[in-house]
Amino acid sequence: MINRLGALGVTFLVIVTLIFGLLRLAPGGPFDGERALPPEIEANLRAAYHLDEPLPQQYVRWLVNLLQGDLGPSFSQKDFSVNELIAEGLPVSLLVGGLALVIALITGVIAGTLAAQRPGGGVDGIIMSLVNLGLAIPGIIAAPVAVLVFAILLQWFPAGGIGSAAHYVLPSIAAALPYSAAIARLWRGAVVESLQEGHVLTARSKGLSEWRVLWRHVFPIASLPLVSYLGPLAAGLLTGTVVVETVFELPGIGRYFVQAALNRDYTLVMGVAVVYAAMILAFNFIVDITYRQIDPRMRLES
């Protein structure tokens, strides 16, 4: 456990250093606008943001600030610090991402269970066709088409912005769609496989109800591959939230990230990248521990 926490810390440090190194290698700076600034002004600006110091010094300064939770000022949004922007945007992103995660898990598990009941049957055929369709429709299609159909044509939901619960319906469904399909496929395979296990046959022959067999004997085994998929899923949902934040004009950190990348706002890009990396690492860590808890074989090993 201590070992794992240490490894987590090292990985985080490596990633943070990579992020810093990559962005400092970048040609061009945040002050390269349409018009060149007078050299004295640019020198002042660079000094104000400590860009005139040698690279190692900048790195140490950034790292020390980072460990104190200070991500520095934003280059492009002059009146805000990166902390303020992230504090403002993170709740929105987490809400959309969390809702999408729940939607993807619930719909995916239900569809996968239904399809696994009779592999090769009619229901399976229909569900798997829908799954294949869902896998081919990325967020950049699902989100605008959802706006077109449900906000512009049918006017059931608002087309963008935040304010009420209704504002979050379309974004979270659009972000969830491809992952709901991926989970359905994974879950179907896992359930089909564990239905063939000996102990499931035994449970059936003892006369347990179908539901009890599934719940007590099939799902626990089938959940193992699903749990290990949660890591990639979180990373994928993050991508999804970036798209829906852009399409639905939600003020989340994904939109800041894209804007900052377009504007070469180093500090904001680094800040959001660090937050993303920290979230993914923490999530993977929790998943890893959960996996060990539910798989008795892994508990024996450690």
For 175, residues 6+ apart whose C-beta sits below 8 A from its C-beta are 96, 97, 100, 139, 143, 237, 240, 241, 243, 244
Binding residue for other proteins (CB under 8 A) from 45, 95, 110, 235? Answer: 235
Please report which residue ranges of 26-138 form alpha helices under DSSP H: 39-48, 55-67, 82-117, 122-136
Question: Which of residues 77, 81, 239, 290 is near other proteins by CB under 8 A?
Answer: 239
- Using rule CB under 8 A, residue 90 touches other proteins: no
CB 207, min distance to other proteins, A = 27
Under rule CB under 8 A, residue 160 binds other proteins: no
Phi, psi angles (nearest 5°) of residue 216: -90, -35
Q: Which is nearer to other proteins, 8 or 162 (CB)?
A: 8
Pattern 190-229, other proteins, x by CB under 8 A = --xx------------------------------------
Distance CA 218, CA 212 (A): 9
Report the DSSP beta bridge partners of residue 81: 73
Largest distance between two CA atoms of the chain: 85
CA angle 14, 20, 25 (to 5 degrees): 125
Give the nearer residue to other proteins in terms of CB position, either 114 or 208: 114
Specify whether the CB–CB gap between 296 and 112 falls below 8 A: no
CA distances from 174 to 58, 130, 243 (A): 41, 15, 9
269 binds other proteins (CB under 8 A): yes
Single out the segment in contact with other proteins by CB under 8 A; choices: 26-34, 84-92, 212-220, 293-301. Answer: 26-34
Q: Does 27 bind other proteins (CB under 8 A)?
A: yes
Stretch that binds other proteins, among 44-52, 74-82, 101-109, 136-144 (CB under 8 A): 136-144
Reading the block at residue 104, the tokens are 């993807």
| Interface with other proteins (CB under 8 A), residue from 71, 186, 200, 242 | 242
Decide if residue 141 touches other proteins (CB under 8 A).
Answer: yes
> Should residue 123 be labelled a site residue for other proteins when binding is judged by CB under 8 A?
no
| Spatial contact of 214 and 109, defined as CB atoms under 8 Å apart | no
Radius of gyration of the chain (CA): 24
Output the smallest distance, CB 224 to other proteins, in A.
Answer: 16
Stretch that binds other proteins, among 64-72, 82-90, 127-135, 162-170 (CB under 8 A): 127-135
17 or 57: CB nearest other proteins:
17
Residues that bind other proteins (CB under 8 A): 11, 14-15, 19, 22-23, 25-28, 119, 132-133, 135-141, 144-145, 147-148, 152, 189, 192-193, 234-236, 238-239, 242-243, 246-247, 257-258, 261-262, 264, 269, 273, 276-277, 280-281, 284
